[in-house]
Amino acid sequence: MNNRELFFKHIGQTSPFPLAIEISKAEGVFIEDTQGKKYIDFISGIAVSNVGHCHPDVIKAITEQANRYMHTMVYGEYIQSPQVQLAHLLSSNLPSNLQSVYFVNSGAEAIDGALKLAKRYTKRTELISFKNSYHGSTHGPLSIMGSETYKNAFRPLLPNTKLIEFNKLNDLEQITHDTACVVVEPIQGEAGVILPENDYLQKLQKKCNQTGALLIVDEIQTGCGRTGSLWAFESYQIIPDILCLAKGLGGGMPIGAFISSNEIMSTLTHHPILGHITTFGGHPVCCAASFASLSYILNENLAEAAKKKGEYFLSKLIHPIFQKRRGKGLMISIPMDNNFVLMKFIQLALERGIIVDWFLFADSALRICPPLIISQIELDWVAEQFNQIAELLD
Ligand code: PLP
């Protein structure tokens, strides 16, 4: 059997129609398949490859760390330089209340840890999140997911959850002194890149402060420079009580984190001790990769680059099909007439060697999320291809 046959036989499948591109290698903005066809990865493996694939700094950091040590002990017991250096780098680039970093392996785990932390700190149980939000697929994040369709198939889930509508001020009244936390994506990703209106997020923060509910900001998709600032919350003048990161944090390696104040985080250490534990969280090789990736993002000011490149790319999309576009930095969505048109667009783009996608809760919107290192020439070429594809769809 060849790898394609083995993939369908032995790899647990997530949908009846996987892309099934057989990967040979990936470098920078490009992915190459085993037939030698080259694709521009215009979705960054879904918001992961912010510094591109196999960035040389990341490879060097991984190699050096792997030669020194890999796993030595479960999280939180030994002092490991890659972990503490990454935590220091993160906290140096965050508001002063976000100084304690708990490393995990994925976005879902970061959210799960944050939910537990909020319940433990506030001694409350109600969890509020948003319609059309996505925070991961394990039971905790699934319980607060903004889609009844996805949740219904797996009930019973966590009790005492409530969904409110993003950008709807009246719904903020549902946040009360019973609420442990409100989990929010500063820009809703899987909803199709929905931006917060006016000072909505500030009003949300105010309501949380008034009621004592913790504000958990999920920057798993928006973080690490993607939207034109290092963290999206910066551009909306809010400060999370707990910040969740993953995806682009690892430079291509699996890592997540939930970050809070020392005061809040310390509640996980007693009554009971070991209130949250993980074997592989903060793996030294992943932390070294993350440190290299984050340093590159900061040193090269890739956040500012994302802002300029996003604006530049959109200015090159001249066909009316792209009119309804929205986004921030290099996190962009282009709603199309319907799912049929979008799927045709995605297929034609793939044929031309451009990987694009749709969104979980917006299946007629085109997802654009390239590596932040993409060049102007590459953006010009993709824009030209997009305009041509749009002509074909007319
Ligand atoms: N939160 C957001 C906003 C996401 O976009 C995702 C993944 O798409 C997650 C959480 C879950 O991350 P992971 O797939 O690493 O569990």
The residue contributing the CA closest to ligand 1 atom 12 is 107
- Show the DSSP H helices in 107-188 as ranges: 107-122, 139-143, 148-152
Three-class secondary structure of residue 242 per DSSP: strand
360 CA: nearest ligand 1 atom: 8
Measure the CA–CA gap between 93 and 111, rounded to whole angstroms.
21
Residue entry with tokens 């215009």: 42
The predicted-structure confidence for 280-293, as pLDDT tens digits, reads as follows 999 999 999 999 99
Q: Is 351 left (phi over 0), alpha (psi -120 to 50) or beta?
A: alpha
Mean pLDDT for 131-145 is 98
Nearest CA residue ID for atom 2, ligand 1:
135
Tokens for 142? Answer: 């699934």
Mean pLDDT of 326-341: 97
Closest ligand 1 atom to the C-alpha of 137?
A: 16
- How far the first Cα of the chain sits from its last, in Å, is 42
Scanning 245-300, the segments in alpha helix (DSSP H) are: 262-265, 284-299
Q: Give the ligand 1 atom nearest the CA of 108.
A: 16
Give the distance (Å) from ligand 1 centre to CA of residue 384.
31
With cut-offs at 50, 70 and 90, classify the pLDDT of residue 195. Answer: very high
Distance of CA 102 to the CA centre of its chain: 17
- Distance CA(360)–CA(183), nearest Å, equals 18
Band of pLDDT at residue 394, cut at 50, 70 and 90:
confident
